[in-house]
Every structure is written in structure tokens, then in C-alpha cells.
Chain A
Amino acid sequence: MRSIRNGAVLAVAAATALTLAACGSSSSGGAGSGSASNSGASAVTLTWWNNATADPLKGVWASVAGSYHTAHPKVAFQIDPIQNEQFTTKIPLALQSGSPPDIYQQWGGGQEATQVKSGKVMNITKLVAPWIGQLGSAAEGWQVNGQQYGIPYDLHMVGFWYRKDLFSKAGIASPPATMTELNADVTKLKAAHIVPIAVGSKDRWPDAFWWEYFALRDCSSTVLKASMKAINLSNPCFLKAGEDLQAFMKTKPFQPGFLGTASQQGAGSSAGMVANGKAAMELQGDWDPGVMSALSTDKSLNSKLGWFPFPAVTGGAGAPTTLLGGGDGFSCTTGATAACADFLKYIDSAPVQKKLVGANVGLPANPAAASALTDPTLRQILAYSHASPYIQNYFDIAFPTNVGQAVDNAVADFFAGQGTPQTIITTVNQAASTS
């Protein structure tokens, strides 16, 4: 879940730094001894680093590993749940070391490409070829130069989560479909003394969502794909995205002091504000209701929440149905056996995918599990994503890590009034030139 991935989980972040030295995780499973050719012959233990430190996902992974072991007695698992923030520090260290985990959490994109440089990430293209087609275009996000180095197990989509009660209080009949309508709604909400939009600028990546969505509306998907590939934002449509964002921000749609607001921690966070009726909407991923329910005592919160896609932008070259999203997945390392890739196949099989949907982790990577989705809003998002012509991975994941971070930093600075639409582009292109 991105929710855990990116949130600067307060205390844990500091604790991470402190315990880093002490937690050389016990990845001493004897899996390194096996090779792809003799798999099935000898027993292996696959070390599995995932970010499920809490139920329900933790329990799901344990049962998935258990049932796979029952069917394949020679493959055992050592599951190491690792707090999400720690992956950014532990993965580079593990991939530099002689004993990386056999399976580890993978968000794909340019970050995956950066990791592939280590030579320790397994190319599973041939092993997954028979079944990867089931996932559709979603699997492309886990490719590097057309080669599959990981697979997704769930997908995430970014859009507006809004409170129906506050919208009707402000006299808004239906969610906005264009920027003009959104601007009008912001005015109406302000007139009703309701904070129109909450944003968690302290974490930087929620800011980036805004700029990226304007880019999705202003740039055609052909330009987007080419720019991602070339790691270059020189196309004028990206400048227009910044200008559109600038114009929108002039209407002051966000809560006071949004620069210091976290996105997911505490009732004062942007998610907490929407959850507690302090703001009418926020631009966030599909995980948001889960985050909100933990920050509010309102039992009927879910029925008050609605979803709508990012509005159409006048004069934009992008299709108004293009989505910004991403997902969670796994990679195998070169020391693992072919059993690893086979296990990934199992994770993406319909029964396991249905289990994951049941645990409310996100939208299923395998459309065959769509029927298990019961929440009407999530069903709406999934249907919308299936109809979408193009799903763009979050820029900070799609680009190589340093460029992706440059996007987040530059847009966050822009939100704080530092820089211009051009600065964002210059900064990102500069970072790209050194990557």
C-alpha cells in the first residue's frame, strides 16, 4: 500500500534510523544454494520481505505461503515483514550484499530500473510469459526495457475522495467534471465556511499528485509515454500543467497551513480532516478510506464518502479519462530458484487475488478477481480504470529514483511559493541529466 509506503510514519521513521544498525535481518534462508535449473529437485526456503507488518495483509501472506507450501512441500518460506519506510534503506543495502532476500516488495517503474542495475534482480520474463497476459497492461509498470523484473499483486488509482454530506451542505448537486466546475464548487464550499480541499504537503508526494494530474490532462498519452522513456519534461504541455496548477492555487482551495500538514498521520492530517468533516475533499489514492477510518470514530464514514476522477482541463491534449496510479508487487532476486517465479504466479492467481481483495488491500491486479470487490465505490474506481485508455504510474515511481524525488521536491517547493512552472521542469531535467 502506498499509504504506508510514503507516509513519513512519525516515530517509526526516527526509530528506523536508530535501529538500522541493529536490524541486519536474518535472511540466511538457504535459498541461495539452489539454481533455476535444479528447482523442484531440492528443498528450498524462500526468504520473503514484504511490507505487511499488520493484519489483515500479514495474515493473508502467511496463509498464502502456507497453502503454497502444502501444494509444494519442497518450498518453504521465511517471511520477514518489514516496516514500509525501511525498504528504501534496506533494499539498496541488501542488493549490494551477498545475501539479498529471495522475494521482496517492488513498486516497479524507474525505482525498479535503478535496482536492476545491481544485477541481483531476477529477469522473470520467460518464467511468467505463460500467464502474465491475464494482468493486461498493468504488468508493464513492472518492466524494465520490456523485460519483466517484477509483478504487481494489487493496483492503486488516484482520484478525488469527497464528503457527500459537505457537498450537499454547500449546495453542490453532483461532483465536478471540469476544472470550471471544480472552481465553482471551491467557491461554494468556501461560502459555506467549509475547507474545500485538504492536501498533505508535508509529505511532498501529495503535492506531486496535483501537478502530475494536470500533466495527465495537458499532455497526450503518447507524449507522456515518450517523456517517461526519455526522462525528459521538455514538452511544452508540462509547462502548461504548472501554469494550470498555478492558476488553480490562486483560488486558495487548500486548508490554512497546508504546508505543514501530513497526509496520513493523526486527525490533523489531510485524510483526518476529510474523515472528521473538516474538509470536503482530497486528491488521494484508493487506499484513502482505509486510512480515514483509522483516524475517525464515525462508523458510517464510508457511506458519506464518494469518488470522482480528476476533472477535465480545457484545452488539454490529454484524455480526461487518463488515470494516475500505481500498485504493489514483488521481485525475485537472482539467488532464488524458479520456485520464486512460480510463487508469484500463485499470488496473481484468481483465488489468492480474491483473498487480497477480501483483505481490502487495493484493486486486484488480476481482473478475474474483480467480482470479489464488494465496496461500491471501489467497484466504481475499478470499472473506471478498466475503461481508462492509459494509466500513468506515479512520476516518482516511474522515473529513476533521484529524478522521481526531484519531481516531488520541486512541486512541493512550488506549493510553498518557491519557483515557477518552469523551475519544476528545469529541476527535473537537471536531475535526469545526472542519473
Chain B
Amino acid sequence: MARGISTAAAADTSAAAAATPLAQPARPARLRKRLELTLLLGPALILFVGFVLAPIGIAVYYSLYNWSGFGPLTEFTGAHNYSLALSDPVFRSAIEHNGIIAVLSVAIQLPISIGLALLLNRQMRGRSLLRLVVFAPYVLSEATTAVIWLLMLQPGGFVDKALTAIGLGHLVHLWLADLSIVLYTLFVVLTWKYIGFGIILLLAGLQGIPAELREAAAIDGASSWQTTRRIVLPLLAPTIRIWIFLTIIGSLQLFDIVWIMTGGGPANASVTMATYLINRGFQSYEFGYASAIAVILFIICFLFSLLYQRFALRRDTRGALTRAVG
């Protein structure tokens, strides 16, 4: 079984794999293996090429033209769309906003998630109910979440009334209308929405930590904090690294909640790369320019993924992927 996986993972280097002394099966078996590979990988490969690689290529092609989306592409402008985008202050602030959301997510959501996950991992009354409550927001769709919060954050709405009722009336702000606050308001909504995801992921990670280790630590006289700090957190690290990866990619591609709650406004104070892309593409019909934005967004995500895989995730995947590939 393990062989099968490693061979599949190394499909593109099958020649190298075949050359190793380990992989020298009889001819019919080899044929069968090839057939299996074709059958198993073929459909996925066709979908991947047709719906992932080809669209990326087409987007790059469109991005080199000044094109309204109608008629043939005639006005070749080279890299003009890219230089236009990178010099546009709105797009720059969009990148900045995505960056702020990503940094805040890791800095604020991660500690909260870890804390709540550790708490919810303990034996206590009503644990299932609490887990359910914490996880509930994640089950809601983004659109629903956005509409609910949009209603609650209206001036004089639920949030304002609740704050006033508990004597914090001075904290009331124009949550979605104040240019300097709106991005952070959105971040609070995002945190509310996605905290459950982090907790569920970390809880799953906690299940994978053998109870024996804690018991051994307890026998050796380790305090609860020491156990958490020295045993639980290090063993939870792979899960945390995956969570960080998913969160940052999600932050870079942030769209739906922002689009519904503010549309990127007011005055682009909450614009993200994705809302800017939709605004310039499907609202302004500047499809060439919007394609350039899409390509830039793709490159940013791709570079981040590569670097993160290389420097952060490699140790987690070592032994699974890395052994066969390199």
C-alpha cells in the first residue's frame, strides 16, 4: 500500500522510480500499474488541466490586452495592465487590507482558537453543547453571516443597542460607515465566522496526541502548564501550521463577506484584491485589466504557498511526500 502511494506521488518521475532497484516488477504487473495510473489519474488530470491550468493560461493571455469583454482581442498592451494595477493606489490599499486581515487573523484568531480548543478538549459538563455553539457560525454560509451582521451593525441596530444597554454606549461607532473602522469591523465578523473552523481543526489535532504522553508527564510531576507548553503544543504544531496556511490563503482571497457588507467601501476603505477584481471586471467591464489583477492575486497566493510549503510545511510532509520526490 505504501509503495502504491509513493509511486503515485512520483508519477511524473516514473522513469526515475522505475530505475530504482526496488521497483522492478514483472512486465504484466507493470502494465497493470500503468493502466491503473491512467484510469485513476486521468479524469482528475483532465479536470485539473481544463478547469485550473487552462483558465490560468487564458487569464494571462487576456491580461495582456485592453479588452472590454466584447468582440475580439485586438488592442495588445503588453504589461501595461500590470504596471497600471501596481501603480493604482486603490489596488495597493487592497493588497494592504488583505495583508492586515492575514496578520490579524494569525495574531488574534490563533491564540483564541488554541485556548478554546484546549478548554473544549477537557472533560466537563455540556462539552458537546459548547462545541456545537462555537462551531455553529462556521456552518452558516458566508452570505448569511454577512447579512446577519449587516443588519446588526446598522446605526442604532442590535450591536449599538446592546452596547448602550450594558453601559458601553460611548463605544458605539459607525461600524460600517467610518473609514478608519470598517476594516476592523469586518475582521471581527470574520473572526466570529471562522473561529469555529480553527477550533475543530485543533480539536482533531488534540485527539491525535497520545494520552500516554500526558500520563507519563503527570507521573514525572509536570504541571498542567508544563504539559501543555512542552508536550501538547509541540505535538499540535503540524495542525497549527496547516491552520495558518489555510487562514492566510483565505485572507488573501477574502471576498464574499466584504462584498455583501460593504462592497469594498466606503471609498475603498475595505477594498480587497478580490472585490477590486470583481468591481473592475464584471462591473466596469475592464476584463483585460481585471485579468491582470487575477494573475497578480494568483502569483501572490502561489508564491506564498510555495514558500510556506518549503519552509514551514516541509517538516510535516517529510516522510510522506518528500521521501518519494526527493
Contacts and interface: CB of A to CB of B under 8 A. Distances in A.
A and B are interacting partners: yes
Interface string A414-425: 011110000000
B262 interface: yes
B265 A202 contact: yes
Given A260-B182, A268-B157, A412 B284 contact: no
Contact of A406 (B141, B144, B182, B284): B284
Bin chain A's interface residue count. Answer: 35 or more
Contacts of A354: none
B140 to A, nearest CB: 12
Q: Is chain B's binding surface mostly helix, strand, loop or mixed?
A: loop
B237 interface: no
A17 B256 contact: yes
A118 B286 contact: no
Interface stretch (A5-13, A309-317, A335-343): A5-13
Contacts of A409: 279
Contact of B143 (A15, A116, A260): A15
A256 B146 contact: no
A95 interface: yes
Interface string A362-374: 0000000000000
Contacts of A401: 68, 283-285
Given A257-B176, A416-B266, A117 B70 contact: yes
A435 B287 CA distance: 12
A426 to B, nearest CB: 13
Given A88-B283, A434-B66, A13 B179 contact: no
Contacts of A260: 153-155, 174-177, 182, 262, 266
Interface in B265-292: 265-269, 278-279, 282-287
Q: Is chain A's binding surface mostly helix, strand, loop or mixed?
A: helix
Contacts of B279: 405, 409
Nearest to A401: B285
B86 to A, nearest CB: 16
Nearest to A93: B69
A416 B265 contact: yes
B71 interface: yes
A13 B260 contact: yes
A11 B143 contact: yes
Interface string A102-138: 0000000000001111110000000000000000000
Contacts of B177: 201, 256-261
Most buried by A among B174, B263, B265, B278: B265
Interface of B: 66, 68-71, 141-144, 146-147, 150-151, 153-155, 157, 174-179, 182, 255-256, 259-260, 262-263, 265-269, 278-279, 282-287
15 contacts: A11-B147, A13-B143, A14-B259, A92-B282, A114-B70, A201-B266, A202-B176, A202-B265, A256-B174, A258-B177, A260-B175, A268-B154, A401-B68, A412-B267, A413-B267
Nearest 3 pairs of A and B residues by beta carbon: A260-B176, A416-B267, A259-B266
